[in-house]
């Protein structure tokens, strides 16, 4: 039977302002599509992508990337309306969408540095697992890390998970029936929980070298900016990097504050009425910031 996979990308990513799964991850890619690419490369069955927070943007990004992809027919996108309840809700949503299955590899959308060779090693371990095995998990110094294979024998226990528990909670309880693969410490387990982690991964994987159209910057005084910042924060404006606030505007402008206010030192104005416009502005801004971080 073919090997299925889940890609979980529904969480709020509260340490980021913008949805982190939409951050650039190489030409034509964002973190979400990169995780899907990894899943499609190792799983030859169905791949269920679970979205939740910013679902419209996620669906748009996936649709653009899958438009001409030969494996698009194997991908199913499902929405988790209870994503705020934690990772367990997304795992349950994905397992429910799979239905009949021998099990699934569970990928997270914020682990972009997984290597093809290690994923193929994981697949072989899944194929060679003993009949009593309920799961197969790569490890870092003995600690299970995603992507984890969750066998169908664990699906009833997945249904009982609550809160932010994921597959690792089950592995601790069922340890005697888990095959562990010790991969050791390395870049393959790098995840993206903060802007600083994203910058390190983007520089290590070469994403920061992608060309980006620069912004003309303009200095503004606190008297001019403070009211706009307050209004933007009340409206839920999202920081796209520490101290950089993304706010709507008729034209694209990068405003540098003469002094920080409420933790904000820069404003990026721009029109973003559609998912296409928003993702284009976000990509341009993040790539420009990456090049500034690198001193380019």
| pLDDT at residue number 124 | 97
pLDDT one-digit tens code per residue, 128-186? 999 999 999 999 998 999 999 999 999 998 888 888 777 777 888 888 999 999 999 98
Label residue 71 left, alpha or beta by phi (over 0 means left) and psi (-120 to 50 means alpha): alpha
| pLDDT at residue number 67 | 96
**Rounded to 5, what percent of the chain is helix, strand, coil?**
40, 25, 35
Judge whether 178 and 129 are in contact, CB under 8 Å.
no
d(CA 183, CA 146): 11
d(CA 60, CA 272): 14
Residues 257-271, mean pLDDT to the nearest whole number:
93
d(CA 91, CA 85): 11
The answer on pLDDT for 250 being more than 70 is: yes
Return the higher-pLDDT residue of 295 and 217: 217
d(CA 106, CA 178): 15
| pLDDT at residue number 130 | 95
| pLDDT at residue number 208 | 92
Quickly state the pLDDT bin for 296 (edges 50, 70, 90).
low
Q: What is the model's pTM?
A: 0.94
pLDDT one-digit tens code per residue, 100-126? 999 999 999 999 999 999 999 999 999
d(CA 243, CA 202): 19
* Closest C-alpha among 83, 88, 52 to residue 160: 88
The answer on pLDDT for 210 being more than 90 is: yes
Residues 187-195, mean pLDDT to the nearest whole number:
91
Judge whether 179 and 137 are in contact, CB under 8 Å.
yes
Query: If you average pLDDT over every residue of the chain, what do you get?
Result: 92
Share of the chain above pLDDT 70, in %: 98
The answer on pLDDT for 205 being more than 90 is: yes
Share of the chain above pLDDT 90, in %: 73
The answer on pLDDT for 15 being more than 80 is: no
Residues 49-60, mean pLDDT to the nearest whole number:
95
Question: Looking at the chain, which residues constitute the CATH 3.90.550.10 domain(s)?
Answer: 4-189
User: What's the first-to-final CA gap in the chain, in angstroms?
Assistant: 50
Quickly state the pLDDT bin for 239 (edges 50, 70, 90).
confident
Residues 43-60, mean pLDDT to the nearest whole number:
96
At CA 226, angle to CA 197 and CA 19, rounded to 5?
30
CATH number of 4-189: 3.90.550.10
State whether residue 36 is helix, strand or coil.
helix
Return the higher-pLDDT residue of 256 and 11: 256
């Amino acid at each position: 039977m073919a090997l299925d996979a889940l890609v979980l990308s529904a969480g709020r990513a509260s340490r980021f302002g913008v949805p982190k799964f939409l951050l650039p991850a190489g030409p034509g890619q964002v973190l979400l599509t990169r995780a899907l690419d990894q899943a499609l490369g190792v799983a030859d069955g169905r791949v269920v992508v679970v979205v939740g927070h910013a679902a419209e943007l996620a669906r748009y990004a996936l649709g653009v990337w899958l438009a001409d992809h030969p494996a698009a027919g194997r991908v199913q996108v499902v929405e988790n309306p209870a994503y705020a309840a934690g990772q367990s809700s997304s795992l349950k949503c994905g397992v429910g969408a799979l239905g009949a299955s021998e099990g699934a590899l569970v990928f997270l959308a914020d682990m972009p540095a997984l290597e093809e060779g290690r994923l193929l090693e994981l697949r072989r371990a899944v194929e060679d697992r003993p009949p009593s095995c309920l799961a197969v998990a790569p490890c870092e110094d003995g600690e299970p890390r995603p992507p984890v294979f969750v066998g169908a024998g664990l699906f009833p226990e997945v249904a009982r998970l609550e809160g932010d528990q994921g597959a690792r909670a089950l592995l601790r309880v069922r340890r005697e029936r888990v095959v562990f693969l010790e991969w050791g410490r390395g870049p393959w387990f790098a995840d993206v929980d903060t802007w600083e982690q994203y910058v390190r991964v983007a520089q290590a994987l070469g994403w920061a070298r992608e060309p980006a159209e620069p912004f003309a910057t303009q200095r503004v005084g606190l008297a001019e900016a403070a009211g706009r910042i307050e209004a933007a924060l009340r409206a839920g404006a999202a920081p796209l990097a520490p101290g950089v606030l993304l706010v709507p505007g008729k034209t694209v402008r990068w405003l540098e504050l003469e002094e920080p206010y409420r933790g904000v030192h820069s404003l990026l104005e721009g029109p973003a009425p559609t998912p296409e416009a928003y993702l284009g502005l976000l990509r341009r801004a993040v790539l420009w910031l990456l090049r500034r971080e690198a001193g380019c």
